[in-house]
Structure 1
Amino acid sequence: MFPKPAAQLAPNTYAYESQPMVKPTGFREYDARWLLGKEINLMGVQWLGMGIGTLVHEMGVRPDIVTGHDFRGYSASVKMALISGMMASGMRVRDIGLALSPMAYFAQFDLDVPCVAMVTASHNDNGWTGVKMGANRPMTFGPDEMTRLKDIVLNAKFKTKEGGSYTFIDDFPARYIADLTNRPKLKRKLRVVAACGNGTAGAFAPKVLEAIGCEVIPLDCDLDHTFPKYNPNPEDMKMLHAMRDAVINAGADVGFGFDGDGDRCGVVDNEGDEIFADKIGVMLARDISALHPGATFVVDVKSTGLFATDPVLIKNKVKADYWKTGHSYMKRRVNESGAMVGFEKSGHFFFNKPFGRGYDDGLISAIAVCDMLDRNPDKSMSDLKNALPKTWSSPTMSPHCDDEKKYGIVDAVVKHFEDAQKKGDKVAGQPIRDLVTVNGVRVTVEDGTWGLVRASSNKPELVVVVESPASEQRMRDMFKAVDGVLRTHPEVGEYNQTI
């Protein structure tokens, strides 16, 4: 029998060092994230490992699993605790060492292993840890699997099994880099900035971009788990502004910014302007649909409305499928629908055949942008951006809201706008044209201006995005309207950034 984990234990006590601690809110919709030491301890991580193994056996999946860890000062320790739990539950572990999340996903294919457990807190601040998991490549766990895993771990419903083993795969990054770069070199000589925020991608991104024929200007590529300048998050304006300055100073053609575990990519054009990932998605959709007319693209609900209204995409008979935000939701939708690519505003892009294997990889995204520029040798990145219909978009804005409260707040906001639509009330001065409630609420008014509110799946926050095809003022009007609804809930705190 195993003891049930405690939700909270005081550090530097007998209990903390002898009992598992796992805060229930760390089990999120499609992965797991905790503040190490405050919400989970290493014994709790071991319990998580036993839970993963128990669930894999319960699902009837072959008990072979790939694991790796990101470049945080504590991630290797977390991984070894996780491995001990997985081995106790009969899992045969292949450890690829320090890795990007997409490197672990690639290892599932390259090593013919069905399961993955990647230790990473992605772009979260230092202090956070987490695990991205899956048992059916290239998909990762969704709400059903995470709910069952939570039940197993919190109630200590473990089934230990013999047969667990451990194998370290030496020099696996070379296999991953070779897979990405075994292709013709670019014809166009591109100067690119590779910004990594001192995160894990710094060990790999410059090598990959150089190998495909780019001249690389590295920016914060030395690994430093204190993240001394800014958090490696390509949605963070500090990182984007650093990329802008580097691109302008170097006269680069494009700047790429990679997040902490390398599954996302942000882009700055040759004029230093940040291009939000959903607009990059429209540009790539234009480029790819010219080669593959009639292609289907899955798009998350945070993304621009241009996927449905852009005249070039309409001419190329593109099918746009707006879906739930979140890498697990998007990955599953792309694979089940046979879409060519899935685009998420956060910068997760899911390239299916012939470009990828259906998982999110920031380096594949960067290569796709380089290929687009290669196919348009007479156009700059800013030319391609300026060819899109003009819209005014906000960055992703995240007001604090406790994990225990955020979903209830979002339910209340959804009901507010549903009631407003029924009563014919105006939002930002105009009637509601459309509501999408597949993931929070996306309210669109008469002139196409829209605003989104949803719960963050991996942090104690809400997510707010607004866009207008009419004017910057209309975008601001929508933000004022949406924020006004949120301010009726005192549980909603300050934003991380606003327009």
Structure 2
Amino acid sequence: MLPVPRADLEPNTEAFETTPLVAPTGFREYDARWLFPSQINLRGVQALGLGLGTLIHEMGIEPKISVGHDFRGYSGSIQQALMNGLMGAGCEVFDIGLALSPVAYFSQFALDVPAVAMVTASHNENGWTGVKMGVERPLTFGPDEMSRLKKIVLEGTYKTRSGGAYHFIEDMRERYIEDLTNRPNLKRKLKVVAACGNGTAGIFAPRVLEAIGAEVIALDCELDNTFPRYNPNPEDMEMLHALRDKVLETGADVGLAFDGDGDRCGVVDNEGEEIFADKVGVMLARDLSAQYPNAQFVVDVKSTGLFMTDPVLLKNGAKTDYWKTGHSYIKRRSHELNALVGFEKSGHYFFNQPIGRGYDDGPLSAIAICDMLDRNPDKSMADLKNALPKTWGSPTMSPYCDDEKKYDVVDRMVTLFSAMADKGEMLAGQKIRELVTVNGVRIVLEDGTWGLVRASSNKPGLVVVVESPTSEENMRAIFTEIDTRLSAQPEVGEYDQKI
């Protein structure tokens, strides 16, 4: 049996090679993320596999699990260590190899296995690794499962069992692409730039788009695990600006950006303007609610207020539920409400039947965007965007805050703004109309201007988003109010980007 994990091992020592290193902070709300190898070593990943296998048995789930990995220099070795642990816990492992997260989720259905473990750091920078896990397709773990897994691993109460087995699945990429593209081709001739940041999506997204009849211009689709140009994150302006330049250079109809594990999609229109993913969500909701009247949608608290006020959505009878940010939360909420689609501002979209199977899938989101353009042959992407009511919004901004301190900081912000609302105090020259505290605090002012502060679920940092339906001045004013209060907290550091 492996020793009980420790969090204080020094590299280049005997203990580092023989004892699991597992930092407790790596267990997040709904998945796991560590810096490798300073926060977790290969023995630690093996312990994680043993813990996950133990939990699968404890939950009474058939011990069969599909396992894949993204394209980073160390992800293959981490997958091997994870599978060793899973097999040691008596699990039958199906190795799908190099994959996107949606390919791993798809493989649960294709192979008829209940569990999944995808080795990926998603959009986090190089040096990070992690695992997205689930045992009830199409859902992934939430806080309860993650808390139990953390306890099993850190206390070393994992159990070895006989019965472990290994299967290598060599064709899951082809099966996934065939599943997405076994449909009629687009009628409209669309020129699409596909930007992949040299991440895993480079060997998936262009092929999918070409197979549905789009003319594809590949941008940074060659696999390179050093990510030489920019981190593959469709929320980062550096990636969106590179995509903008290529769209303008080539006269493309749309630019689509994919993150490192391919479960998100970002958009630049034909005029080179980035469209934040929540606004793209409103556009898709307009298009889909016309086909499916009275459709139910779910969106995260970072998203635009237009889901509640847009006249087209109201006319189509669309209903929208605002819920906690996080792919696991929105996926689960969409499943519970039988929503047609769940949308996150980060670009995770969850299409349920009859469009998808309920998990977040960047290439499927790209297909939905192309289909929207196909159904509007006389309108450009910019036309569809400009038809939305005007709002002024920010990208997602993340000031640094230590994992062990960020939730306390957010609690202080909730208390502070709640006290202001109770006293009727003014913020940015307006009264506070509403506070939404389902996930951090979303402060809504009288004119609909709002700002959000929450803790990041997958890295040490906070999340700040602001929007105004009335003016850029009001959008900037509420950001200044929030930033002033955050900057007064000694635990809060520099932003990754700012308006």
TM-score normalised by the chain length of structure 1: 1.00
For the residues of structure 1 that align with 2:2 and 2:193, how far apart are their CA atoms?
Answer: 51
Could you tell me which residue of structure 1 aligns to residue 358 of structure 2? 358
Query: In 1, Cα distance between the equivalents of 2:365 and 2:481?
Result: 34
Q: Which deviates the most, 422-431 or 185-194?
A: 422-431
| 1:150 match | 150
| CA distance in structure 2 between the aligned counterparts of 1:462 and 1:427, rounded to whole angstroms | 21
What secondary structure does 1:117 align onto?
A: strand
- Specify the alignment match of 1:129 in structure 2: 129
Q: Secondary structure at the match of 2:404?
A: helix
CA contact (8 A) 1:287 1:372 kept: yes
Structure 2: how far apart are the matches of 1:148 and 1:401? 25
- Equivalence for 1:435: 435
Q: Which residue of 1 aligns with 2:116?
A: 116
In 2, the alpha carbon distance for the partners of 1:488 and 1:293 equals 47
1:87-144 Cα shifts (integer Å, max 9, x gaps): 0001100000000000000000010010000000001010000000000000000000
Contact kept? 2:31, 2:146, Cα under 8 Å: yes
State the secondary structure of the residue aligned to 1:403. coil
1:147-226 aligned at under 5 Å gives the runs 147-226=147-226
| Equivalent-residue separation in structure 2 for 1:312 and 1:203 (angstroms) | 37
**Shift of residue 10, structure 1, vs aligned partner:** 1.0
Is the contact made by 2:2 and 2:47 (CA closer than 8 Å) also made in structure 1?
no
Deviations along 1:34-86, one digit per CA (max 9) or x if unpaired, are: 00011000000000000000000000000000000000010000000000000
> Aligned partners of 2:425 and 2:41: how far apart in 1?
50
Deviant stretches of 4+, over 2 Å: none
Query: Does structure 2 conserve the Cα–Cα contact (< 8 Å) formed by 1:410 and 1:454?
Result: yes
Match of 1:446 in 2: 446
- Retained in 1: the 8 A contact 2:395–2:465? yes
Partner deviation per Cα, 1:282-330 (whole Å, 9 max, x = no partner): 0000000000010000000000000000000000111010000000001
Paired residues for 1:22-171 under 5 Å: 22-171=22-171
How far does the alpha carbon of each residue in 1:157-181 deviate from its partner, in whole angstroms, 9 at most, with x for none? 1121110000000121000000000
AA paired with 1:390? Answer: K
SS at match of 2:256: strand
2:424 maps to amino acid: G
AA aligned opposite 1:240: L
Matches within 5 A, 1:292-331: 292-331=292-331
- Quote the residue 2:419 is aligned against: 419
Aligned to 1:379: 379
* Contact kept in structure 1, 2:298 and 2:320, CA below 8 Å: yes
Instruction: Tell me by how many angstroms 1:268 deviates.
Output: 0.3
Secondary structure at the counterpart of residue 442 of structure 1: strand
Q: Which moved more, 1:155-164 or 1:280-289?
A: 155-164
Q: Report the AA paired with residue 186 of structure 2.
A: L
Distance 2:493 2:169 in 1: 45
Corresponding position of 1:393: 393
Q: Which residue of 1 is the match for residue 455 of structure 2?
A: 455
Asked whether 1:240 is paired with 2:234, we answer no
C-alpha distance in structure 2 between counterparts of 1:429 and 1:163, whole Å: 66
Matched-pair contact (CA < 8 Å) for 1:449–1:468: yes
Instruction: Name the residue aligned to 1:268.
Output: 268
* Contact residue 442 and residue 452 of structure 2 kept, 8 A: yes
CA contact 1:300–1:322 (8 Å) conserved in 2? yes
Letter in 2 for 1:450: W
CA contact 2:350–2:358 (8 Å) conserved in 1: yes
Given that 1:330 and 1:342 are in contact with CA atoms closer than 8 Å, whether structure 2 keeps it comes out as yes
* SS, match of residue 247 in structure 1: helix
- Residues 243-262 of structure 1: matches in 2 within 5 Å? 243-262=243-262
Letter in 1 for 2:341: V
Amino acid at match of 1:133: M
| Root-mean-square deviation over aligned CA pairs | 0.5
Partner of 2:475: 475
Give SS of 2:126's match.
coil
Amino acid at match of 2:438: V
In 1, Cα distance between equivalents of 2:416 and 2:485: 8
Shift of 1:3: 2.3
Structure 2: unaligned runs, 5 residues or longer:
none
Q: Return 4-13 or 72-81, whichever deviates more.
A: 4-13
Q: Which moved more, 1:186-195 or 1:12-21?
A: 12-21
Q: Which structure 1 residue ranges, 5 or more long, are not aligned?
A: none
Contact 2:400 2:494 in 1 (8 A): yes
* Counterpart residue type for residue 118 of structure 1: M
Shift of 1:8: 2.1
Q: Distance in 1 between matches of 2:428 and 2:53?
A: 50
Q: Which whole-Å CA distance do the structure 1 matches of 2:437 and 2:64 have between them? A: 38
Larger mean CA deviation between 6-15 and 240-249 belongs to 6-15
CA contact (8 A) 2:2 2:19 kept: no
Q: CA deviation at 1:488?
A: 1.8
Give the count of matched residue pairs: 499
Structure 2: which amino acid aligns with 1:33?
Answer: R
Could you tell me whether the CA contact under 8 Å between 1:8 and 1:38 is conserved in 2?
A: no
Give the secondary structure class of the aligned counterpart of 1:354.
Answer: coil
Distance in 2 between the 1:332 and 1:90 partners? 28
Q: Deviations over 1:234-265 (max 9, x none)?
A: 00000000000000000000000000000000
Counterpart of 1:282 in structure 2 is 282
Q: CA deviation at 1:371?
A: 0.3
Deviations along 1:192-239, one digit per CA (max 9) or x if unpaired, are 000000000001110000000000000000000000000000000000
Q: Is residue 196–residue 221 contact of structure 1 (8 Å, CA) maintained in 2? A: yes
TM-fit CA distance, 1:487? 1.4
The CA deviation at 1:2 is 4.1
SS in 1 for 2:350: strand
**Contact between 2:2 and 2:20, CA under 8 Å: does it hold in 1?**
no
Amino acid at match of 1:354: P
Q: Distance in 2 between matches of 1:413 and 1:166?
A: 49
2:402 paired residue number: 402
Q: Residue 442 of structure 2 aligns to which amino acid in structure 1? A: R
Give the residue type in structure 2 aligned to 1:394: S
